[in-house]
Amino acid sequence: MAKYDIDVNGSLFDWDLDKGSITFENDEVVLFWVNTAFKTLIDSIEEIAGEKEARLVLETAGYRTGLIVSDFYLKSIGKPEEILDKLPNTYVTAGWGITEILSYSIEEKKAVVQFCNGWEYKVNVAQGKEEEGTFMPGHWAGVLTGIFGSKVWYRVVKSQISGDDCSVYEFFPSDISPSLNVNALMEEQTLAAQEELDRITKQRTEVLSEIIKEISSPIIPVLDSILVVPLVGRYNEIRAEELLNKTLLNLPRYKAEFLIIDLTSLSRVDDYTLSFIQKFVSAASLLGTKCLLVGISSELSIKVTQRGYRMNHIPCFSILQQGINYALDQLGMEIIKKV
């Protein structure tokens, strides 16, 4: 005999061994060992997706399967009261634990449902969890949403995994849904990722800034009383102030009479940079140090003229060598070839 059927508590089970199938309430089902195979399935979901994400997956899956259950019984039974009277027997027959609808109001779209020794509770115990699962309350939120014809969500009133005798969920009208929870999780993860990116960017910027401070615009003693400061790249307020402070603090130590500012490697000269150069020269002059500008390109000279900056009081030269020779001459010195 290849076919078997049995009526358990008003629910019909059918086995067709030729097809290798089992049906429950005229729909195909499959059997899993709860504490081993089913636990492994959920463990795998958590391992791949993450525990927080897995809770949302299970809640969403529960809600959607609940909608399927409600749709089935609305089509087969029709009346919400009769469906709610039948469902506890159906779930206990299916091995989902002992379900009891403590109260409900179809008009107010509310219900309180109690669950004892459900399969999710057993899996969570096997996993060593201490927090109420999400599949079962999500599932009944879907069931009641379908039966009531209006969005329903839940809150956990009692939790068997937390030490209560049974779990109790309260269901009520709400705009909350798994879709909203998914969006909230995505926004939370996006925000966390952005905050982490900002943290890394800030950290790397700080490191890079320190490196730039150390390697950019060094003070180069050429000869006694003559210093050279090359301006490299582009200057913003922070970098300009750093150079100004660094140079002014060191001028007295070097006893510099001449400061040669080399503009050869300066790039993207704007009004701020030109203003900074003037400020740099003025500050050094207050300390008794004469400034020279070298490395002035034709492009830079045009910009200075077009923008009305006056630097005719500052000796300017095309190349560094000319500036050094000028400073030596002013000091009454010269470089001669050793005989």
| Distance in angstroms (rounded) separating the CA atoms of residues 300 and 307 | 11
How far, in Å, CA of 59 to CA of 136, rounded?
Answer: 8
The pLDDT assigned to 131 comes to 92
Q: Token pair for residue 129?
A: 């969890």
Distance CA(189)–CA(242), nearest Å, equals: 38
Extended beta strands in the chain, E state: 3-8, 11-16, 21-24, 27-29, 98-105, 110-116, 152-158, 167-173, 220-223, 226-230, 258-262, 290-294, 316-317
Q: State the pLDDT at residue 192.
A: 65
> What is the model's pLDDT at position 212?
59
Per-residue confidence (pLDDT) for residue 191, from 0 to 100: 67
Which structure tokens are listed for 178?
């798994």
Tokens of 156: 């956990």
Domain boundaries, the chain: 32-176, 216-330
Residues 6+ apart with CB under 8 A from 62: 134, 135, 136, 137, 138, 139, 140, 141, 142
pLDDT computed for residue 3 by the predictor: 87
Question: Based on the number of CB atoms within 10 Å of its own CB, is 217 exposed (0-12), middle (13-18) or buried (19 or more)?
Answer: buried
Q: What is the pLDDT of residue 27?
A: 85
Q: Which two tokens stand for residue 75?
A: 């089509």
Find out whether 11 and 25 touch, Cβ atoms under 8 Å: yes
Residue identified by tokens 């061994």 is 17
Structure confidence at residue 337 (pLDDT): 77
Report which of 295, 287, 304, 285 is spatially closest to residue 322, judged by C-alpha positions: 295
- Side-chain half-sphere CA neighbours of 43 within 13 A: 14
Per-residue pLDDT of the chain (339 residues; tens, 9 = 90+): 688 889 888 888 899 888 888 998 888 888 888 888 888 988 898 888 888 888 888 999 999 999 999 999 999 998 999 999 999 999 999 899 999 999 999 999 999 999 999 999 999 999 999 999 999 999 999 999 999 999 999 999 999 999 999 999 999 998 887 766 556 556 655 666 677 777 777 777 777 666 656 555 678 888 878 999 988 888 888 788 888 888 888 888 888 899 999 988 887 778 888 888 888 888 888 888 999 999 887 777 887 788 777 777 888 888 999 999 999 889 888 778 777
**Can you give the pLDDT at residue 138?**
93
Q: Is residue 337 helix, strand or coil? A: coil
Task: Quote the CA–CA distance of 48 and 319 in Å, as a whole number.
Answer: 64
Cα–Cα dist 34/38, whole Å: 5
Tell me the two tokens of residue 249: 């603090």
Q: Give the pair of three-digit tokens for residue 24.
A: 């429950």
Q: Where are the beta strands (DSSP E) in 106-159?
A: 110-116, 152-158
Which architecture, in CATH terms, is 216-330? 2-Layer Sandwich (3.30)
pLDDT of residue 183: 63
Cβ count within 10 A of residue 139: 26
Cβ neighbour number for residue 321 with a 10 Å cutoff: 10
92 contacts: CB under 8 Å, gap ≥ 6: 9, 98, 99
pTM given for the model: 0.56
| Distance separating alpha carbons of residues 153 and 144, to the nearest angstrom | 9
Q: Which residues contact 30 (CB under 8 A, 6 or more apart)?
A: 22
CATH of domain 32-176: 3.30.1380.20
Q: Which residues pair with 104 in a beta bridge?
A: 111
- Single out the residue of 48, 56, 86, 53 nearest to residue 69, CA to CA: 86
pLDDT attached to residue 85: 93
